[in-house]
Amino acid sequence: MEFGIQTPSTWIDPKTGLEWQCKSPGQMSWHEAQEYAKSISLDGKTDWRLPALAELESLLDRTMARSDGRPPMREEVPFRDNLSYWSSTTFERHTKTAWIVMFDGAYVLSYYKSSSYYVRCVRGRTESLGHSEEEL
């Protein structure tokens, strides 16, 4: 009998203590992403949410630079890719937009919440980033 290789469904970041969803469900609007995060259960846990902008940025290694001078995703992150992900953070000056992190170049930009970007949920508190999730 052959068994497939199992990959973990979550990863706990040793730098921040946050628990991350390993496999993205794909692209969706910001509002759909919010609903998705409220609906999922991973490893028996149901308190998932979209990450705040600072939480997404914590996946970048700002001590390193690629050939284009932009920081890469941290080496220990098991779901390293070059996709663009929604944050939960709304742009204060234009509330119809929210911040995304484009990991292909470590760009942080705001886009209309009706746009489609990738989603990766997180759970836990963010004290190691200098604030609690209630402040984000």
Of 131, 60, 40, nearest in space to 89 by CA: 131
pLDDT, position 105: 83
pLDDT, position 131: 43
pLDDT band at 123 (very low <50, low <70, confident <90, very high): very high
Q: Which CATH class is domain 14-126?
A: alpha beta
Beta-strand ranges (E) seen in the chain are 10-12, 19-21, 27-28, 84-90, 97-102, 107-112, 117-118, 122-123
pTM (predicted TM-score): 0.85
Residue 2 tokens read as: 């052959």
Cβ count within 10 A of residue 29: 17
pLDDT, position 119: 98
